[in-house]
Amino acid sequence: MLPIARSEFLQIVRNRMVFVSATIVPVGLSFVFISQREVFAQSPTGVGLLAGAFMMILISMGLYSTAVTTLAARRQTLFLKRLRSTAVSDGAALSGIVIPPAIIGIVQVTAVLAVLASIDAPPAEPLLLVVSGLALVLMMLGFALATAGITQSPEHAQVTTLPITLGASAIAFWIGFTGTEELTPLKRLLPGGAATELTISAWNGGAEWGESLLLLAPTAGWIVVAVVLAKSMFRWEPRR
């Protein structure tokens, strides 16, 4: 797994288009929002809205989209088939491929939230923030494997990733702008909704730990859905 992950890092760095879309674009977008933080602070969820939105944007663009693009590219070039001709297990091969986008996503989230914390105020519950972030990472990795199954090429990934990238970001902003006092069950059940609520309350503080951890349940459910979809949809070779 580690040799595969190392080679994937090398390839991300060497492929300018992938590197830019995985790093500069989502981080740049986040800094645009930070520059307008006073506007967002007026929302019912305050600056927590930005934390929730950043978490979702960076993980969906930096991690999910990059992972789908990478998996589609490796399948198209028959590199996945080559990995399966070695002694490495399927799980280790896939882990090695998605670990770099996952690490890039986590580093980006950490960096951007650190900047937000330094110019505003640090999060009230940083540990809850980490838990929420990791849950989102796992969910998006599962969705990436499932989406890769219907993605024929890296170019096609620009289309197939849109529903989850835009949908999840829209959900995060909706919850950020409107809070969760109305339509609470719906907002929590949507993919990423409960994790966004958890992120916002971890940033702003004031919520009970036990109550906050219950918010992990819908995200855990979506992780299971994503894994089931990935198992049935993922393909190792291009369709003949």
Partner 1 sequence: MTRETVIDVHDLTVRYGTFEAVTGLSFEVRRGELYALLGTNGAGKSSTLEVIEGHRSASSGEVRVFGEPPTRRRSVRPRTGIMLQESGFAEDLTVRETLGLIGSLSQREDRPERVLDVVGLAPKAGTRVSQLSGGEKRRLDFATAIFGSPELLFLDEPTTGLDIQSRDALWETVDRLREDGATIVLTTHYLEEAQQRADRVGLMHRGRFRMEGTVAEITRTLPATISFRATAESAEIPLDHVRRDDGTVLVETHALQGDLHRLLAWADERDLELLELEAGPTRLDNVFRSIAND
Q: By the criterion CB under 8 A, which residues form the site for partner 1?
A: 3-4, 7, 10-11, 14-15, 74, 77-89
Minimum CB–partner distance for residue 149 and partner 1 (Å)? 18
Q: Which of 165, 176, 151, 209 is nearest to 63 (CA)?
A: 165
Of 1 and 138, the one with the shorter C-beta distance to partner 1 is 1
Of 85 and 232, the one with the shorter C-beta distance to partner 1 is 85
Minimum CB–partner distance for residue 9 and partner 1 (Å)? 11
Of 62 and 154, the one with the shorter C-beta distance to partner 1 is 154
Of 16 and 39, the one with the shorter C-beta distance to partner 1 is 16
CA distance linking residue 240 with residue 237, whole number of Å: 8
Minimum CB–partner distance for residue 133 and partner 1 (Å)? 29
Minimum CB–partner distance for residue 81 and partner 1 (Å)? 5
CA distance linking residue 198 with residue 206, whole number of Å: 11
Minimum CB–partner distance for residue 229 and partner 1 (Å)? 22
Of 19 and 33, the one with the shorter C-beta distance to partner 1 is 19
Q: What is the 3-state secondary structure (H, E, C) of the chain?
A: CHHHHHHHHHHHHHCHHHHHHHHHHHHHHHHHHHHCHHHHCCCCCCCHHHHHHHHHHHHHHHHHHHHHHHHHHHHHCCHHHHHHCCCCCHHHHHHHHHHHHHHHHHHHHHHHHHHHHHHCCCCCCHHHHHHHHHHHHHHHHHHHHHHHHCCCCHHHHHHHCHHHHHHHHHHHHHHHHHCCCCCHHHHHHCCCHHHHHHHHHHHHCCCCHHHHHHCHHHHHHHHHHHHHHHHHHCCCCCCC
Of 76 and 158, the one with the shorter C-beta distance to partner 1 is 76
Minimum CB–partner distance for residue 89 and partner 1 (Å)? 7
Of 36 and 89, the one with the shorter C-beta distance to partner 1 is 89
Minimum CB–partner distance for residue 70 and partner 1 (Å)? 10
